[in-house]
Structure 1
Amino acid sequence: MSARDAIFPPGRQALYDQNRYSAAIRSGDLLFISGQVGSRDDGTPEPEFAAQVRRAFANLKAVLAAAGCSFDDVVDVTTFHTDPEKQFETIMAIRDEEIGAPPYPNWTAVGVTWLFGYDFEIKAIARISAGAGETQESRD
């Protein structure tokens, strides 16, 4: 069995190391992205809900970019919400800005009671295009 091919966005690996998980794992042509929350660079949450959702999408976008992907490559999304009924309108407005036009990825929204001090989390699976995110060493 081969080692996990971990992907980290620039400047945030210390946060992942501190919490003992990878931002994403590449497996073949798939990228499995851990749940991204609205954390600032120092790991603290954005206090305002819409800003927290925007930051979660920005953090997801950074992980995708680190693997040579974009939202166009996302095939499956799962979001977690601490108060879905009150939050859904805000989330959908930001989602529309970030995800763009159809066809949309699969999407599952889950209501939860706890997200470690956050109110929104987004995780995704993306297909990696041939050659995306390769380093010179991986092509040699």
Structure 2
Amino acid sequence: MPKPFTTIVTPSFKAPSETYQYSPAVRIGDQILVSGIVGADAEGRLPPDFRSQAENVFTTLEAILNEAGATLDDVASLNSYHVGDIHSQLRELVDIKATRIRVPHPAWTGVGVTQLGVPGALLEVSAVVVVRD
């Protein structure tokens, strides 16, 4: 019996997707559920600073959505997970998000955590996306 969803795996996520047995995103009808994205660049390098990681997160999110036929304008909900000073990170993330996602603003929850699955990661973001007609 076929699964009720389709997987979305961009070329840069093929190896980690197989290694860790997950899909970067799945599409169910007009919804796309995006797994947590850390701030590594396209070559898999993780910059040491929060701002660069956050910018990389949105670049990666945009690439995943493009693969699925959606855009950042379709983002309905974001969850962000922060290692470090969450208050300064939230301010920076608001600034970066404002340049990438237009009004109306998606729902958003930001949570402080002690560590993430990728050593050195300061931010991880997951999303729920509703593709517009």
TM-score by length of 1: 0.84
Q: CA deviation at 1:128?
A: 2.3
Which residue of 1 is the match for residue 13 of structure 2? 12
Which residue of 2 is the match for residue 33 of structure 1? 34
Counterpart secondary structure, 1:125: strand
Which residue of 1 is the match for residue 97 of structure 2? 95
1:31 counterpart letter in structure 2: I
1:112 & 1:76 partners in 2: Cα distance? 19
1:121 counterpart letter in structure 2: E
Does residue 122 (structure 1) correspond to residue 125 (structure 2)? The answer is yes
2:2 counterpart letter in structure 1: S
1:99 & 1:129 partners in 2: Cα distance? 15
TM-score by length of 2: 0.88
How do 1:29-108 residues align onto structure 2 when only pairs under 5 Å count? 29-83=30-84, 84-100=86-102, 102-108=103-109
Q: CA deviation at 1:42?
A: 3.8
2:54 counterpart letter in structure 1: V
Gaps of 5+ in 2: none
2:40 & 2:105 partners in 1: Cα distance? 25
> Conserved in 2, the CA contact under 8 Å of 1:12 and 1:41?
no
> Conserved in 2, the CA contact under 8 Å of 1:77 and 1:108?
yes
Work out the number of aligned pairs and report it.
Answer: 129
Counterpart secondary structure, 2:12: coil
2:41 & 2:106 partners in 1: Cα distance? 26
Cα RMSD of the aligned pairs, angstroms, is: 1.6
Deviations 1:56-97 (A, max 9, x none): 111111111110000111111111111202312211111111
